[in-house]
Amino acid sequence: MYLILAGLLMLVSWLVSNRLKNKFELYSKLQLQNGMSGKEIAERMLADHGITDVQVISVEGQLTDHYNPADKTVNLSEAVYNQRNAAAAAVAAHECGHAVQHATAYSWLEMRSKLVPVVSVASSYIQWVLIAGILMMRTFPQLLLVGIVLFAATTLFSLITLPVEYDASNRALAWLENKQMLTQEEQSGAKDALKWAARTYVVAAIGSVATLMYYVMIYMNRR
């Protein structure tokens, strides 16, 4: 049953990721009538929220956009940073949504930030601990339990990420609409792009929960 579920989740993940890619390609062709780049959109949103200590910078790669609360930077991929289309506007505003969360002490973001060090350590060892725990289940079942606890931390991180990402998108879309930054067509494109981006996090969270349950079942059955 787990193999079937895992296969279904992999298929759904591929479909959502492929759909997301197609959506961003589509809305990357929808040029903004205001002529603003992703960088300019981001700087404008930060200024409108009174945030003056966050820098907007360009980073290499694709889909590498993120907000770094440690050094207070909105990191935009080269395509988003320089381009002037609905997809770039959506991503730039979304990442600034995280900056606004940080500035307003959004509780879910603070919870996720506190988990980052734990998840970082857990991710480095979790695979080996789980494998060793399964192999040594009869002689040392506690090792698998340690692996389950570590994996539970990463699962919790995935679940907490959901409200953080959805809230950032809602803030972005609300600002774009209230400030009339986009036309109706561009706004619809930005909303659609962010909707599919959010679904990748939903699929990841479901997959993490399913995998956690699988290891728990192994532990309970072997016990």
Residue/partner pairs of 39-42 with CB below 8 Å, 24 or more apart: 39/76, 39/81, 39/82, 39/92, 41/88, 41/89, 41/92, 41/93, 41/181, 42/74, 42/76, 42/92, 42/93, 42/95, 42/96
Helix then strand then coil, in percent of the chain rounded to 5, is: 75, 5, 20
DSSP at 36 = -
Cα–Cα dist 139/36, whole Å: 63
Residues 78/65, Cβ–Cβ less than 8 Å? no
DSSP at 85 = B
Residues 122/155, Cβ–Cβ less than 8 Å? no
Cα–Cα dist 210/208, whole Å: 5
Catalytic residue among 25, 40, 43, 95: 95
DSSP at 27 = H
Task: Tell me, yes or no, if 95 is annotated catalytic.
Answer: yes
Bridge partner list, 67: 74
- The secondary structure element, H or E, covering residue 59 is strand 55-59
Q: Which residues are catalytic?
A: 95
